[in-house]
C-alpha cells in the first residue's frame, strides 16, 4: 500500500473532537522510534491533527531532546537496539518534574501479549499502543491522555 493511502482521512477520528487539523494543536510530541516507516507514518498523522513533532531514533537522542525542551507527550517504541523504551522511561521518570520527569508517555510496541502491556504500564508509561500503529487509536490515546493530565 502506498504511504499516502496509509495515512487516514479525518473522518476516521473521534466525533465531537473538533476539526481534525486542530485536535492536537499546540501539543508538542516527542516520537522515539528506530523504524523509519513508523516514524514517517506517526509524524504525518500527528501533524495532520495539528501537533508539533520532534522525531528521534534513540534513547540518548530522546533524552537530549527532553533536556532542551520537554514535550507535552512522549511516544516511544519499546523494542529498539542498544537501549529500549523501558530504559528511556526509567531515565525520564528519574528526572526532576520541572525538567520532564512527569511527561505523559505512550509506549508503542509490536508486542501484543497482556504481560507486555502490563510491563510497560508498570515501567512508567500511561498508555500502550500496539504496532502496526492504527492512526485512529493513536490519536484517541493521545487525546485521552491529554484530557486526564492537567499539564497538557
* pLDDT above 50 (res 113): yes
Average confidence (pLDDT) over 94-121: 94
Read off the pLDDT of residues 26-66 as tens digits, 9 standing for 90 and up: 999 999 999 999 999 999 999 999 999 999 999 999 999 99
Q: Do 62 and 95 contact (CB within 8 A), yes or no? A: no
Q: Do 92 and 106 contact (CB within 8 A), yes or no? A: no
Report which of 115, 147, 143, 141 is spatially closest to residue 128, judged by C-alpha positions: 141
Read off the pLDDT of residues 80-99 as tens digits, 9 standing for 90 and up: 999 999 999 999 999 999 99
pLDDT at 20: 66
Of the chain, the percentage scoring pLDDT greater than 70 comes to 84
pTM of the model: 0.85
- CATH number of the 25-144 domain: 3.40.50.2300
Of the chain, the percentage scoring pLDDT greater than 90 comes to 77
pLDDT at 19: 52
pLDDT band at 14 (very low <50, low <70, confident <90, very high): very low
**H-only helix segments in the chain:** 3-6, 36-48, 59-68, 85-93, 114-123, 135-148
* pLDDT above 90 (res 130): yes
Report which of 84, 93, 71, 86 is spatially closest to residue 24, judged by C-alpha positions: 71
pLDDT at 16: 41
Amino acid at each position: 500500500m502506498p504511504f499516502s493511502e496509509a495515512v487516514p482521512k479525518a473522518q476516521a477520528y473521534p466525533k465531537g473532537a473538533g476539526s481534525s487539523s486542530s485536535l492536537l494543536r499546540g501539543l508538542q510530541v516527542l516520537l522515539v522510534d528506530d523504524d523509519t516507516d513508523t516514524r514517517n507514518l506517526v509524524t504525518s498523522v500527528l501533524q495532520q491533527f495539528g501537533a508539533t513533532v520532534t522525531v528521534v531514533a534513540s534513547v540518548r537522542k530522546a533524552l537530549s531532546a527532553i533536556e532542551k525542551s520537554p514535550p507535552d507527550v512522549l511516544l516511544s517504541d519499546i523494542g529498539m537496539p542498544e537501549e529500549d523504551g523501558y530504559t528511556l522511561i526509567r531515565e525520564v521518570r528519574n528526572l526532576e518534574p520541572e525538567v520532564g520527569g512527569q511527561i505523559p508517555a505512550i509506549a508503542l510496541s509490536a508486542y501484543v501479549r497482556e504481560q507486555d502491556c502490563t510491563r510497560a504500564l508498570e515501567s512508567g508509561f500511561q498508555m500502550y499502543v500496539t504496532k502496526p500503529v492504527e492512526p485512529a487509536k493513536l490519536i484517541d490515546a493521545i487525546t485521552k491522555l491529554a484530557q486526564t493530565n492537567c499539564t497538557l
